[in-house]
Amino acid sequence: MRLEEANKKLAATLPALKGISKEEEFEHDHEDPEQRFEEREMRKVADHLYSLIYSVEYLQKPIQASGRVIKRSDGRYEIEGAEDYFTSGSPLEIWDESQEIYARTRIEHDGEDYFAVGIKQPLEGLQARCR
């Protein structure tokens, strides 16, 4: 299956997947051990669906900016030439030289500076893109 076809099929499943969300309430008999078991398992499924939905929707977003990460005068980071800057929780894709592929991560702050989760390099100067 071609990547484009797989992407379209996944996108088409989104409405059905959203039928059971992470916040869904599953009514059940709290006294019945089997129903408590099923409710717990459905909660796990809903959590996985939530992750799947997030990933599919993320892939549907166009790339908004691509370039080198620079530190602004206010201490925040942005992709050079882009209008938006990153705050804690901002999704970002960092170019991984060793694997020659972008790695999806997010920006967080450690009390001193911002960093990309799972990336052991300073942000400034990294090749990145955001959707």
- The DSSP annotation for 76-97 comes to -EEETT-S-EE-TT-EEEEEET
Q: Does the structure show a pLDDT above 80 at 19?
A: no
Q: State the DSSP code for 75.
A: S
Structure tokens at 51: 């992750």
Is this model's pTM higher than 0.85 or not? no
Q: What is the pLDDT of residues 71-119, one digit of tens each?
A: 999 999 999 999 899 999 999 999 999 999 999 999 999 999 999 999 9
Identify the DSSP state of 100.
T
23-69 pLDDT, tens digit per residue, is 677 889 999 999 999 999 998 988 888 888 889 899 999 999 999 99
Q: Write out the CATH class of domain 65-130.
A: mainly beta
> What's the rounded Cα separation, in Å, for the pair 124 and 66?
14
Can you give the residue ranges of every domain in the chain?
Answer: 3-60, 65-130
CA torsion, ordered 61, 65, 70, 72, to nearest 10 deg: -80
